[in-house]
Amino acid sequence: MKRFNAKKNAHKYDYDAVVIGAGPAGEAAAMKIAKSGLKVAVIDPRKQVGGNCTHVGTIPSKALRQSVFNIISNRRDPILNQGIDYHLIPLNKVLSKAREVVRNQVETHTRFYERNQVDLIHGWASFKDRHTIQVALSDGAEQEVTFEKAIIAVGSRPYRPDFIDFDHPRVFDSDKILQMDYIVQRIIIYGAGVIGCEYASIFTGLGYKVDLINTQGQLLSYLDAEISDALSHDFRQFGVLIRNNEEIDRLETYDDCVILYLKSGKRIKSDALLWCNGRSANTDSLNLGAIGLEPIRRGQLKVNEFYQTSVDNIYAAGDVIGWPSLASAAYDQGRCAAAYMVGDENARPVQSVPTGIYTIPEISSIGKTEQQLTEEKVPYEVGQAFFKHLARAQIIGERSGVLKILFHRETLEILGIHCYGNHASEIIHIGQAVMESKGGNTLEYFINTTFNYPTMAEAYRVAALNGLNRVF
């Protein structure tokens, strides 16, 4: 990689680098560039930093999930649930905690930009040529910005097919749903991916009847089959009606309801519909044709192993490049793209990413599934720890869940870890650290390590011993 020469570009361009987008990928890229001694600006249409992740995506939805989780816990407690009807709480009321979290996150991340002397330009960016961006500012004025290199980190938005009227007050996507200000008894969720499943948990927790329309044959089929089955089982236990292998024919909207017609001939009547079927990259307003850049499926950009697009001075990171479309990965991708841009020889592309799905309970995994190992004919074995047997889980009242360790039965190398249950997204990082350790990635680590008691982390020792008992 050619190293960035800041002095060479000091007077030729306004900035050594421009980052488009102030979400996780954009922020990480800007901080890396600034710490490398280069002059950088971030362009974003919002007056506050954080991107979709902070304002309409990860942060508000996970804060909402936590509030619903607290409601579920209180509902179970005979002392705390007296005189409260949890079925009569509009969604925007439950979001009061989320708004507080968003404010705090914006304040925290704004300080990062100030401390690192990163210029923030609030407006809509569009390319004029390979070294010039035209910015439509919020006050109606326009500003021209020149740069040596740029990183596109504009994120994504919910995909909206033309035949659905998203302006109707009973039709929502995952951004608009945060504004729901009325009570519903029943809701249809079309799309059973990560976002659809997370919202199915949230609405069920609020007492709504949920019809979950899955275009596939199994929920989250890329997960370990046992984990996917556990999620389906719990959903059905809590009243979610899962309809697999279904596809929309049309949607009728009325003042007091919606009616979904499926190609199988089924008709479903509900108070509202939440569309969760795919996302589109926010590249349509960037005037990419001016720099000879052609988006691929749903506006996404193709990059090489250095996060470069086909235009060599333009990089891209985060949801705009597709997989894995997670805030955690976007942050690392942005940092790596900037590292390659400035010529950091130690930069490594993002490859190993833990899955984090914030259903109730959570799902998290890393490494291979049983299906993959079976297809690859790897001689593996399974170690399990069911949460209901752990003292900590019994104490906190969260007894549903399991930790699975998949390991090579001869070398004891850990090949995959899958967790379903409360705090799964935290628990997985212990296994991740062991899997990525050089020379120490074996089941014996968990057997020979002393864990605090009682803790959820103790599940690793229990699962390791369980798996070792299967080896002969």
Give the residue carrying structure tokens 């991107």: 51
Query: From the CB of residue 122, how many other CB atoms can be counted at a distance below 10 Å?
Result: 17
Q: Is 463 annotated as a binding residue?
A: no
Q: Is 320 annotated as a binding residue?
A: no
Neighbouring-strand partners of residue 67: none
Q: Is 467 annotated as a binding residue?
A: no
48 token code pair: 């506050």
Q: Is 192 annotated as a binding residue?
A: yes
Q: Is 47 annotated as a binding residue?
A: no
Q: Is 25 annotated as a binding residue?
A: no
Q: Is 37 annotated as a binding residue?
A: no
Q: Report the residue count for the chain.
A: 472
Pairing assessment for the beta strands 363-367 and 355-357 based on DSSP bridges: antiparallel
Alpha carbon dihedral 30, 32, 35, 38, in 10-degree steps, equals -60
What are the residue ranges of helices labelled H in 44-95? 51-55, 58-76, 91-94
How far apart (Å, rounded) are the C-alpha atoms in residues 199 and 115? 37
Per the CB < 8 A criterion, the answer to whether 365 and 354 are in contact is yes
How far apart (Å, rounded) are the C-alpha atoms in residues 74 and 52? 31
How far apart (Å, rounded) are the C-alpha atoms in residues 167 and 158? 14
- The per-residue DSSP string of 287-332 comes to -GGGGT----GGG-----TTSB-SSTTEEE-GGGG-TT--HHHHHH
Q: Is 266 annotated as a binding residue?
A: no
Q: Is 139 annotated as a binding residue?
A: no
Q: Is 257 annotated as a binding residue?
A: no
CA distances from 130 to 149, 279, 291, 302, 307 (A): 8, 27, 5, 17, 17
> Can you say which residues are annotated as belonging to the binding site for NAD(+)?
191-198, 278
> Can you say which residues are annotated as belonging to the binding site?
62, 191-198, 278, 319
> Can you say which residues are annotated as belonging to the binding site for FAD?
62, 319
